[in-house]
Amino acid sequence: MRSGVFSVYLSKINMVDLFQYTDYRKYLRDYYEARRAALKAFTHRYISQAIGFKSTGTFAQILQGKTNMSPHTVASFVRFLALKKDEADYFELLVLFSQSKGHTEKKRYFERIIAFPKSNLKQVDSTQYAFYEKWYYSVIREVLAFHPFKDDYRELSRMLEPAISTAEAQKAIKLLEELGLIRRNETGAYEKSDPVITSGYDTRSLAVNQFIIETLDLAKVALDKLPRDERSLSALTLSLPEDGYAMVEEKIKNFRRELLELARNCPDPKRVIQVNFQIFPVSKKPEEGGAHA
């Protein structure tokens, strides 16, 4: 089938909605599978030739995350996919988001994605992102387990350590209620709508990363402001075998489950506690560090 006729035929197939995605690779996979199901001639080879790749395996490497897109490649895909101006801008934004390195840069692109006029992510991803964006949202939710808060935002704001502003307390209550994480009871006081919220152990979302960064900053404040008997901060540096990281991670994973169970079964909570875990290598692997056997 000639390329021009092929393009006209493809244009008649229902499009995959680009604005539902935050991962451009997933979008391309779904796009490819939809076209391939409709037309067997729509292959990796055809795409690679249309884009101008020297190797027919380059498209597969992009889908697998083994190869990134250059600005030139992005422009070639925009033409190949026949994206309109707003779609092209959004696609480029997804590429920048997925390929950005640091958390700050990734966070900036994600906020541009959820603010994009046609983005379909506002109702789901942005609300989850909002909950983890500030450390005190989760703390206020836990405070409601033992504090009969009605409408005294000034008192509520001063219950946190460190204290927040009255406006921040109001914003937190409004967000938590909108997300269905708190509710008013028959007395008119707010209460948690579910005993424990957890993002799940395997969560690697940008929102949770932001929350972790905020709680790390809290730990620095606690080190300076709280007396020794009210805070416990410690560190270990260990020499372990190659699978030592996985072993430590599994122990922490099990301990987290125990703590969540402890919180679920707590009959009379009186205070909110922040528990952080950090494990990471501080030396390279022998083959990376130039060590010789």
Q: What is the domain range of residue 134?
A: 130-264
User: pLDDT per residue over 65-99, tens digit each?
Assistant: 999 999 999 999 999 999 999 999 999 999 999 89
The long-range contacts involving 187-190, CB below 8 angstroms and separated by at least 24 positions, are 187/148, 188/150, 189/148, 189/149, 189/150, 190/144, 190/149, 190/150
How many domains are there within the chain? 2
Percent of the chain with pLDDT over 90: 41
Tell me if the pTM is above 0.75.
Answer: no
Does 88 lie in the same domain as 8?
yes
Element (H, E) at 81: helix 71-81
Residue 235 within a domain: yes
Least confident of 63-72, 112-121, 192-201: 192-201
Confidence bin at 205 (pLDDT 50/70/90): low
Write down which residue in 67, 98, 120 finishes a domain. 120
Looking at 99, 120, 141, the residue that finishes a domain is: 120
Question: Helices 135-143 and 206-225: crossing angle, nearest 10°?
Answer: 70
Residues 219 and 163 in one domain: yes
167 plus 100 within the same structural domain: no
**In a domain? residue 283:** no
**Does 11 share its domain with 135?**
no
* Domain contains 38: yes
Q: State the Cα–Cα distance between residues 186 and 176, nearest whole angstrom.
A: 18
For residues 172 and 134, the answer to whether their CB atoms sit within 8 Å is yes
Q: Which residue has the higher pLDDT, 93 or 211?
A: 93
What average pLDDT does range 1-16 have in this prediction?
A: 49
- Considering the domain architecture, whether residues 135 and 255 belong to the same structural domain is answered as yes
* Residue with the larger pLDDT of the pair 8 and 97: 97
Q: Is residue 278 in some structural domain?
A: no
Residues 222 and 189 in one domain: yes
